[in-house]
Amino acid sequence: MADGVEVAELDERREPGATVRLDRAELAGHVARLEERSPRWVWADTAALHPLLLGQGVRVARCHDLRMSHAVLARSAYVRGLASAEDARWSARDAVPEESEPTLLDAAAAEPEVDLAGVVDEHRAQQDAVVGSLHPARMRLLLAAESAGALAGVELTHVGLPFDAAEHERLLTRLLGARPLPGQRPPALEALAVQVRDVLEAPGLNPDSGPDLLQALRRAGLDVASTRQWELARVEHPVVGPLLEYKKLARLHGANGWSWLSAWVADGRFRPGYIPSGVVTGRWAARGGGALQLPKQVRAAVVAEEGCVLVVADAAQLEPRVLAAVARDEAMAAASRRGDLYQALVDDRVVDTRAHAKVAMLGALYGATSGESGRLMPRLQRSYPAATAYVEAAARAGEAGEVVTTWLGRSSPPPSESWAEAQRWAAQPEADPDDRRTARTQAREWGRFTRNFVVQGTAAEWALCWLADLRRSLVALGEVDGRTARLVYFLHDEVIVEAPAALAGAVEDAVRASAARAGRLLFGSFPVDFALDVRSVVRYSDAG
């Protein structure tokens, strides 16, 4: 390479002659190379480089993201050692570039330079760590899935979710009234605020102020300890109606109102920021736009382009199915093969209603001890001993301060030093009962975290493999009238593909095939089913 790098050389879909050149400055710190066996780009940071390539119209098929892989390998209990583990150049950092002007502090903390030699060395160190790990095949799959997720995250922001701004504005106007001046309340909110003040006889009250509102409620004789809606809902008082309505609308206005619309929706697309694997468990996080919290109410404005449909697919009861697989629980796997897993629990007389099945299962995953869910736990243990023992073991490990690890090899962070110190102190003879109680409570809390970690984390791995396989297989569907099937949304256990209507059936098949392949990739021949709810709609809100 003289002045540039022929990026398109690695693009499986390149048009003849569509070579794109990026100069060395643009590629600094993100040098790529070709692996001989399975061609893919190896680079430092997908989030930094991939947007440049997309901007040039290049579609990258595969990559190996060294930063994300490093983060997994450096912590994984499957890995015996990563040569570069303490190297600051590869430590995790935010995947989404800051929108604002860099400050002096940012300049001082600028990332260390990564050059070609550094990339090659780190790649070799990572390959060695994988080969020497307890489960090389699982680790390889995890790193490939992480890297594919990194590509997909950038692409999702680039493509955007089709969004009808005019439709959303009609919703806002219908519920809130005319758009107010910045800093003002919309008419409907102001009217409700007046009502609340009148009923409470608190003329100057700002209902947005939690402490002031709580004080006014208590002065008016309401026996509440907070202003949470579920607590207000159980109180009989004329202020409750207007106040709950106020909170609901204030939320819409604040989180998804006119300023959100102008900040995040442009040219008919909603382009939020995703941070693949930004959560400790491996789930995606988001920054900017609230990609992962799009309220149901707002989904009516998510409308496919003319001539297209949205293929909306979500994995049904994903976490229990994942638990059945990691725990090798044959009985629970059998239940997974009968479609609705919760209904299967009812049919098998494990519990008496579907609602009970759901609450019992969630209780097992989250560590509930009391209430309805706690009462149902013995029944669950009797029917699914392997699955319940698996999450119990994860909880016990966490309580003991140990690390737990997902199926593919993501390990939980160790508890904090202050947590460990509190546990050590509680074990001393001179510790007082209060300290012992506090330590015990903290131990249980950390146990609930590790219990959930193994399931949520492995579910995230399945979902990532699903997404990665689908991303690849959509390419093969080709185009209709110059338009292709594109991934436009990913939400933990749900994907949306926007596709020409003529491709809807093919996309639905692809989505299901990818789910089946993801199951086999992770769990081989273990007979657990990953059922999907799939619907082709024009409007996202019609999928529910």
Q: What is the DSSP letter of 155?
A: H
Q: Which is nearer to DNA, 281 or 423 (CB)?
A: 281
Q: Which is nearer to DNA, 116 or 300 (CB)?
A: 300
Q: Verify binding: residue 314, DNA, rule CB under 7 A.
A: yes
Q: Which is nearer to DNA, 82 or 365 (CB)?
A: 365
Task: Return phi, psi of residue 224, to 5°.
Answer: -130, 150
Q: Verify binding: residue 229, DNA, rule CB under 7 A.
A: yes
- Could you say which of 184, 262, 293, 441 contacts DNA (CB under 7 A)? 293
Six-digit token string for 114: 């990564």
CB of 520 to DNA, least distance (A): 22
Which range of residues in 223-231, 434-442, 467-475, 535-543 is near DNA by CB under 7 A? 223-231
Give dist(CA 362, CA 517) in Å, integer. Answer: 26
Q: Verify binding: residue 260, DNA, rule CB under 7 A.
A: yes
Q: Verify binding: residue 220, DNA, rule CB under 7 A.
A: no
Q: Verify binding: residue 283, DNA, rule CB under 7 A.
A: yes
Residue ranges of alpha helices (H) inside 312-384 are 318-326, 330-336, 341-347, 354-366, 371-383
Give dist(CA 413, CA 281) in Å, integer. Answer: 9
Q: Verify binding: residue 203, DNA, rule CB under 7 A.
A: no
Q: Which is nearer to DNA, 211 or 221 (CB)?
A: 211
Which range of residues in 3-11, 133-141, 209-217, 336-344 is near DNA by CB under 7 A? 209-217
* Number of residues binding to DNA, judged by CB under 7 A: 61
Contacts 24+ apart (CB under 8 A), 96-101: 96/47, 96/273, 96/274, 96/275, 96/287, 96/288, 97/47, 97/48, 99/288
Q: Verify binding: residue 171, DNA, rule CB under 7 A.
A: no
Whether the CA torsion 210, 215, 221, 225 is positive or negative: it is positive
Give dist(CA 348, CA 367) in Å, integer. Answer: 23
Which range of residues in 43-51, 172-180, 248-256, 471-479 is near DNA by CB under 7 A? 248-256
Residue 446 to residues 245, 277, 332, 471, Cα–Cα distance (Å) = 37, 21, 26, 36
Q: Which is nearer to DNA, 14 or 283 (CB)?
A: 283
CB of 467 to DNA, least distance (A): 14
The separation between the first and the last C-alpha atoms of the chain, rounded to the nearest angstrom, is: 52
Q: Verify binding: residue 63, DNA, rule CB under 7 A.
A: no
Tell me the per-residue interface mask from 428 to 457 with DNA, x by CB under 7 A, - otherwise: -----------------x--xx--xx--x-
Q: Verify binding: residue 353, DNA, rule CB under 7 A.
A: no
Length of the chain: 544
Q: Which of 126, 119, 127, 123 is nearest to 27 (CA)?
A: 119
Q: Pick left, alpha or beta for residue 519 (phi over 0 → left; psi -120 to 50 → alpha; otherwise beta).
A: alpha
Q: Verify binding: residue 214, DNA, rule CB under 7 A.
A: yes
Q: Which is nearer to DNA, 275 or 487 (CB)?
A: 275
CB of 235 to DNA, least distance (A): 13
Q: Verify binding: residue 201, DNA, rule CB under 7 A.
A: no
Q: Which is nearer to DNA, 356 or 471 (CB)?
A: 356
CB of 376 to DNA, least distance (A): 7
- Could you say which of 16, 211, 221, 482 contacts DNA (CB under 7 A)? 211
Q: Which is nearer to DNA, 214 or 431 (CB)?
A: 214
Which range of residues in 19-27, 82-90, 168-176, 205-213 is near DNA by CB under 7 A? 205-213
- Could you say which of 371, 378, 414, 505 contacts DNA (CB under 7 A)? 371
Q: Which is nearer to DNA, 104 or 117 (CB)?
A: 104
- Could you say which of 157, 227, 388, 536 contacts DNA (CB under 7 A)? 227
Give dist(CA 31, CA 360) in Å, integer. Answer: 50
Q: Which is nearer to DNA, 77 or 255 (CB)?
A: 255
Q: Verify binding: residue 237, DNA, rule CB under 7 A.
A: no
Contact 489, 303 (CB under 8 A): no
Query: Could you give the 3-state DSSP secondary structure of residue 269?
Result: strand
Using CB atoms within 10 A of its CB, is residue 364 exposed (0-12), middle (13-18) or buried (19+)? buried
Q: Verify binding: residue 280, DNA, rule CB under 7 A.
A: yes
Q: Which is nearer to DNA, 251 or 328 (CB)?
A: 251
Q: Which is nearer to DNA, 12 or 372 (CB)?
A: 372
DSSP 457-517: HHHHHHHHHHHHHHHHHHHTT-EETTEE-EEEEE-SSEEEEEEEGGGHHHHHHHHHHHHHH
Q: Residue 286 forms beta bridges with which residues?
A: 274
Tell me the per-residue interface mask from 490 to 509 with DNA, x by CB under 7 A, - otherwise: -xxxx---------------
> Rg for the chain (alpha carbons), in Å?
26
Q: Which is nearer to DNA, 303 or 359 (CB)?
A: 359
CB of 41 to DNA, least distance (A): 26
Q: Which of 456, 458, 474 is nearest to 156 (CA)?
A: 474
Q: For residue 51, which amino acid is it?
A: P
Give dist(CA 8, CA 383) in Å, integer. Answer: 55
Six-digit token string for 195: 């009502």
Using CB atoms within 10 A of its CB, is residue 285 exposed (0-12), middle (13-18) or buried (19+)? middle
Residues that bind DNA (CB under 7 A): 103, 206, 208-212, 214, 226-230, 247-248, 251, 254-255, 260, 273, 275, 278-281, 283, 285-290, 292-297, 314, 359, 362-363, 366-374, 445, 448-449, 452-453, 456, 491-494
